[in-house]
Amino acid sequence: MTHRLPFITKELPGCGGIIKSCPEDFVVDEEPLYLPSGEGDHMYIRFRKIGLNTRQVVTRLAKIINIDSDEIGTAGLKDRDAVTSQWLSAPAAPFQDISPDSIEIPGVTILEHGLHSNKLRIGHLIGNRFKIRIRFCADQALEKAQAVVDRIMSHGMVNFYGEQRFGYEGANVVEGRMILQGEKFVKQSFLRRILISAFQSHLFNGYSIVRLQAGLMRTAMRGDVMKKTERGGLFIAEDSLEETRRLEAGEIVPTGPMVGQKSKAPMWDAMEFEQECMTALGYDARIAEGLRKNRMMGSRRPLLVYPKDISVEQDDGGLILSFMLPKGSFATVLLREVIKPEEDFWDQELDENHD
């Protein structure tokens, strides 16, 4: 139960190929929101890992320093089958007896550490930098990939949620809907929120698809909730022509609904369009009540995102695609545009960039 995602660069051929032939083909480096200050009750540790996901590192570190894993904070989750670096935080007290540099976890290298005043929380990052090798590409792969990259640099890419958000064959979406409709109870709050979030993300993707296919992805509708690309502020578009000009200049982007109690609503034409889309996608009063009961506040998510520092190179091993994405955006969505796979191959464990 997931949407087949369309391409925003559908008229441009893909380079073909496969990703993640080995972990070294998929490199992710977290860009932190802030660095440790040198003082405080929390030890911040930056580490590089391979062959483990973030949760596994957290569990093993907690065992070594004899604390509960819930006391360890991270800004995001990183994949197992990749080479990734990121920060975590833990209470500083256990490190009076052990230096972070002396911690030994197979597959993990400690890079640096320092004290800070607060626990690291999910979302406390700017984004992630990626360096991804694409192997076994088609003929003229570099030219094809560069054409897609150039288009995305100028027009942006749709900020779809990647398929990995939804679980195997969309099972998380189904369970999330059932929870909201009162047909299923999940005791664990963390798991319950993941499942509900999958359904919210499914609705967002559905709205994005309708808007893209209607030719409205780069048009500011009257009443749209727009977001400033630099400062991030939200506002209602009153002058469609003027805000479309700003959209085309990359100054602002339209947003779509992550439905919830306090999600900012559009007005006028955009409100009517959004309500029709949400109704067609299965959003109703029962779902709204389920969101309220589960205290899902909702938000507005940018419909377009502009990858930064994007480049593509070629060597004997294939193509190397490098770029940075803001938190919450999915590298696999960009890779789909560049590769144009005949079938989605995103059933791999790819937790990158969850916020």
Residue 130: count of CB within 10 angstroms of its CB: 24
Tell me whether residue 79 is one of the annotated catalytic residues.
Answer: yes
Catalytic residue, candidates 25, 29, 70, 79: 79
Q: Which residue has the tokens 């911040």?
A: 44
Distance CA 185, CA 178 (A): 8
According to DSSP, residue 254 is labeled: E
What's the CA angle centered on 232, arms 180 and 222, to 5 degrees? 75
Beta bridge partners of 262: none
Q: Is 112 helix (H, G, I), strand (E, B) or coil?
A: strand
Beta bridge partners of 83: 27, 50
**Do 239 and 255 touch, CB atoms closer than 8 A?**
no
**Do 106 and 124 touch, CB atoms closer than 8 A?**
no
Residues 6+ apart with CB under 8 A from 322: 129, 130, 131, 132, 309, 310, 311, 312, 313
Tell me how far the alpha carbon of residue 68 is from its chain's centroid: 27
Tell me how far the alpha carbon of residue 43 is from its chain's centroid: 26
Catalytic residues: 79
